[in-house]
Structure 1
């Protein structure tokens, strides 16, 4: 029973991420079809449509594509920040022992693709794309695992999730350090001071979503103008959100019984359109009680998961995956191939090799129910980089449409190969194990 209670939230998370991956795939296909149809020009014009706010000397007007990549994705990164904080404090990487295996695997999954890309690519103009093949798309990866259903152990999905979360930490750090330019340190300092002020308010007083939205918007704008990508503000702001509850579940249950008993005692059986003063007071007390028992971080994470999974990420994919693939398109073939190879071979070699060495050197141990064949399959699926890889490609090449499109094609090819090979490996592994068990 206890095991079931503990695993159910994680299983729901896997289901949500898997569906998100399916929506991402659908949005990608739609974008490719539209961009390569006779109405492809309209696709491009849609994302370049400019709008925003302007008054006196203040102006914030951006193309729709940048509102998505700088604005909506800041919410996605805020959610990543919430997940990172939860995992570091109470999750799958809340101790060195728990984090050691996915940590070493993730280290290989970052170093090998980057090293392979820099080895293959000798063009200084495209060298700044080295960060593109290092990221794993957790939604796509879990969606692929979801197609295997019960053929893979749950512990393998937990490993992939922990691995991808550590991978996200590396991606966030690399974006902040290497993909920011012309930095205005004054704006950053003011933004950091506001983040510290918000953390102090939450610590000394009480969590307030309204205060967080106001300060968060200001910090996002400061980071936008500072030269550091504004999505980093989302991650930093997430770490101010408290995880502790002001009321434990036992006190909640006791108070809930008291309120329930009072409602029963003051309410008759007749139906009324409006509540009495005493009934309204009980309902208000119930609302307050509910807010007190919730962890602000957990509640926000829960609320934002649907928004990001079912709206933000599919919109991002729809806006960014529409690459023109006809014969007249200019494609940097070398860059495309290097990214595809680095995603597939780099992740496969890096994750497998570092996982193997970690166990052999007794730095880590394999989670229960997992063998090295499973790890090789997961290492291949880790090459599905889609969302974060496209995001880094946009940062790396700015307005260079040829290299951005070449990167996107390479990402799509590398991700497809990685996913297909990973599924084949895991299916063959599961089949052999089933035959062995049956013999």
Structure 2
């Protein structure tokens, strides 16, 4: 019974379901008579300027970004992104899935005060997307799970760069300089084969402090720390520090940080009387970017790249199978919500509107994925002797 419970909590489906539950709970509470108490709790000051909301979004999410950074590093060194042949198809898909939503959002919001939201529709939520993929596993090509994971990893890397470049302001040069010195110390520790996770995390905490006060978004410290974590196994260790830390952080991030983030950031007040006429381009830009731009960018870029012989589809995969998975990538959720919090910081109305758009996009993407996958399966069963659009 205990082993079965462990298997359930480790499953990708469980993380996705947990995120859905946290979102539903926060929506119910925010729109009930406990809505004010909900807001008061997350805005309650803990230490100085740090309230519960800020601790979750700036500190706990830095730990999540550390986890993501470690996974990206592992994939680049040893995994699905370790060679051009393995990486080219999902990398090109991710680039298309970022550029086209950004272009669509920019065109719709050109000359409006919402242009800062360009980073919102470019993201794919790894945990949520893979969870939904596993729920719809019987309707999707299982070979595309690796493609989707790789795409989401590259997508996250691009999103992290966007956060670092677009959403950093009022740079404190001295704090940034100290942060860079601390990063060099971390690399020196790795070079000298210091094999103690606690020491790296404590130095990483100091790094977070100076990154936070430098004006660069604090979550970037997690990625910087990940870049310095040793990836090779030392003589006395059975496993590399990178792998050990990934195993330790996976349950913390998937079962605690991500659901807590969802609980904190999806408490949207659904006001039916709200006037959307003034902000309709923001809503349209996000939904069109995620629901239309994501799959269109992924399909278009990969199709053109295969025609130009730059890359090739994974074996056993046809274009009809890629389509529903590309649509599923339109679930931005965690990363999109996170970017909306940064992009429109201090503007509660725009943040709220962005979150509604992100949630709607996720629901629409899931529904369309289900319908398209069902239709494709029906077509393939009905016409088994016809070519499966491999070319």
Q: Classify the TM-score, shorter chain.
A: over 0.9
For the residues of structure 1 that align with 2:373 and 2:126, how far apart are their CA atoms? Answer: 17
**Secondary structure of 2:82's match?**
coil
Aligned pairs, how many? 378
For the residues of structure 2 that align with 1:214 and 1:417, how far apart are their CA atoms? Answer: 42
Partner of 1:404: 351
> How far is 1:334 from its partner?
3.0
For the residues of structure 2 that align with 1:13 and 1:202, how far apart are their CA atoms? Answer: 35
Note the 1:27-426 alignment, pairs <5 A. Answer: 27-52=22-47, 60-247=48-235, 292-329=237-274, 332-426=279-373
For the residues of structure 2 that align with 1:423 and 1:244, how far apart are their CA atoms? Answer: 42
> How far is 1:326 from its partner?
2.2
For the residues of structure 2 that align with 1:318 and 1:330, how far apart are their CA atoms? Answer: 26
- Give the TM-score taking structure 2 as reference length: 0.93
Q: Which runs of 5+ in 2 are unaligned?
A: 1-6, 387-391
Partner of 1:433: 380
CA contact under 8 A between 2:8 and 2:14: conserved in structure 1? no
CA contact under 8 A between 1:179 and 1:395: conserved in structure 2? yes
**Secondary structure of 1:244's match?**
coil
For the residues of structure 2 that align with 1:23 and 1:438, how far apart are their CA atoms? Answer: 41
> How far is 1:316 from its partner?
0.2
RMSD of aligned alpha carbons: 1.9
- The answer to whether structure 1 residue 16 and structure 2 residue 11 are counterparts is yes
For the residues of structure 2 that align with 1:14 and 1:170, how far apart are their CA atoms? Answer: 29
> How far is 1:13 from its partner?
12
For the residues of structure 2 that align with 1:334 and 1:205, how far apart are their CA atoms? Answer: 53
| Displacement over 6 Å in runs of 4+ | 12-15
Larger of the two Rg values belongs to structure: 1
CA gap of 1:329–1:49, structure 2 versus 1, over 3 A, is farther
Q: Per-residue displacement from partner, 1:58-102 (whole Å, max 9, x unpaired)?
A: xx5311100000011000000011001000000001011111101
Partner of 2:3: none
Q: Per-residue displacement from partner, 1:277-316 (whole Å, max 9, x unpaired)?
A: xxxxxxxxxxxx6xx1111101110111111001100000
